[in-house]
Amino acid sequence: MGDEKPAAETKERAQSDRPIQRVGVIGAGQMGNGIAHAVALGGFDVALNDLSKEKYDAAMETIEKNLERQVNSGKISQEEMDKAQGRITFAESYSDFADADLVIEAATEEETVKRKIFVALCPYLKPEAIVGTNTSSISITRLAAATDRPERFIGLHFMNPVPVMELVEVIRGIATEDVTFGRAKEFVSTLGKTIAVSEDFPAFMVNRILLPMINEAVYTLYEGVGSVDAIDTAMRLGAHHPMGPLQLADFIGLDTCLSIMQVLYEGLADSKYRPCPLLVKYVEAGWLGRKSNRGFYDYRGETPMPTR
């Protein structure tokens, strides 16, 4: 009894005993800012990197808005919001990750982009630092091979929007060590998320099931079976999906949807995963969904308007 610590001190000590304390995030887009938000709320220091300071500033604005929403709905206190914001800093270069225990890559879903990041990043990291990727579909084993530490590399697939969604898929590459797997799982649990472990197959579990459904919705539109509104209404009211598949595609980002379908098509060599030509056309037009203000819906007015 005599040497029992007061609760606050015990919590602080538990925090300083955590093998992961400082986290880096690369890519401050919709996923990167969501990850930074959730990780900072979890009590970790976060260094957030993107191609420019403007992208970081835009991410911080989004984080502020989303934290405010959580305060207003009583999910967190104003003090927790202030602390979380104070824990996030701009990482102008990879040298700002020198003391990071974990760096999570959340840049554009293109293998060449991600490989280049890992090659440039690794020389700046502590030898024991873990590298995670938020890829939606690309082989963890192949990405790990672009690093100097495949045994300390892991897939951490957060869901969108990160502060709201409960699940993180955790994926080991062929070389991922047990200790890395254990630390990654502990880290994810600390964030209050639930883990689903997936084998390293193209698009893992959630997107292996979800994206072919979205692609089929685009084919349904392409073949004139129904309009954007009819397809989304059908799936919302007929299958009780919280969002129609085309609305969801806009939310994910059509470029990301196309990349995932390409990974499935090439990785599983099955024609059932062929990306719909209409999806390809929208991406070629730069109509990427919400993030570019136009996709299957046009978001430039007061209310989203279906484009077909």
Ligand X SMILES: NC(=O)c1ccc[n+]([C@@H]2O[C@H](COP(=O)([O-])OP(=O)(O)OC[C@H]3O[C@@H](n4cnc5c(N)ncnc54)[C@H](O)[C@@H]3O)[C@@H](O)[C@H]2O)c1
* Active centre residues (catalytic): 136, 157, 169, 207
Q: Which residues fall within 8 angstroms of residue 187, CB to CB, at 6 or more apart?
A: 20, 102
* Binding to ligand X in span 5-24, by CB under 6 A: none
165-169 long-range Cβ contacts below 8 angstroms, 24+ apart: 166/193, 166/194, 167/193, 167/194, 167/195, 167/196, 167/206, 168/193, 168/194, 168/195, 168/196, 169/195, 169/196, 169/197, 169/198, 169/204, 169/205, 169/206
Nearer to ligand X by C-beta: 10 or 52? 52
Query: H or E segment at 132?
Result: strand 130-133
Cα-based angle 172, 101, 162 (whole degrees, multiple of 5): 65
The CA–CA distances, whole Å, from 6 to 13, 17, 18, 76, 79 equal 11, 17, 19, 24, 21
The region of 9-17, 74-82, 132-140, 238-246 touching ligand X under the rule CB under 6 A is: 132-140
The region of 5-13, 64-72, 103-111, 264-272 touching ligand X under the rule CB under 6 A is: 103-111
* Binding to ligand X in span 46-85, by CB under 6 A: 49-51, 55
Is 227 part of any known ligand binding site?
Answer: no
300: helix, strand or coil? coil
Tell the smallest beta-carbon distance from residue 292 to ligand X (Å).
9
Is 160 part of any known ligand binding site?
Answer: yes
The region of 69-77, 181-189, 230-238, 249-257 touching ligand X under the rule CB under 6 A is: 249-257
With CB under 6 A as the contact rule, the residue among 104, 107, 125, 171 that binds ligand X is: 107
Nearer to ligand X by C-beta: 76 or 107? 107
Is residue 280 within 8 A of residue 270, CB to CB? The reply is no
* Binding to ligand X in span 189-248, by CB under 6 A: none
Tell the smallest beta-carbon distance from residue 8 to ligand X (Å).
35
With CB under 6 A as the contact rule, the residue among 70, 135, 215, 262 that binds ligand X is: 135
**Distance from the Cα of residue 289 to its chain's centroid:** 17
Is 109 part of any known ligand binding site?
Answer: yes
Is residue 89 within 8 A of residue 47, CB to CB? The reply is yes
Nearer to ligand X by C-beta: 85 or 160? 160
| Helical pair 254-268 and 245-252, crossing angle rounded to 10 deg | 100
Is 27 part of any known ligand binding site?
Answer: yes
* Binding to ligand X in span 143-172, by CB under 6 A: 157-160
Q: Applying CB under 6 A, what is the total number of residues that bind ligand X?
A: 28
With CB under 6 A as the contact rule, the residue among 70, 136, 176, 198 that binds ligand X is: 136
Annotated binding site for NAD(+): 27-32, 50, 109, 114, 136, 160, 291
Q: Which residues bind ligand X (CB under 6 A)?
A: 26-32, 49-51, 55, 106-109, 113, 117, 134-136, 157-160, 252-253, 256, 291
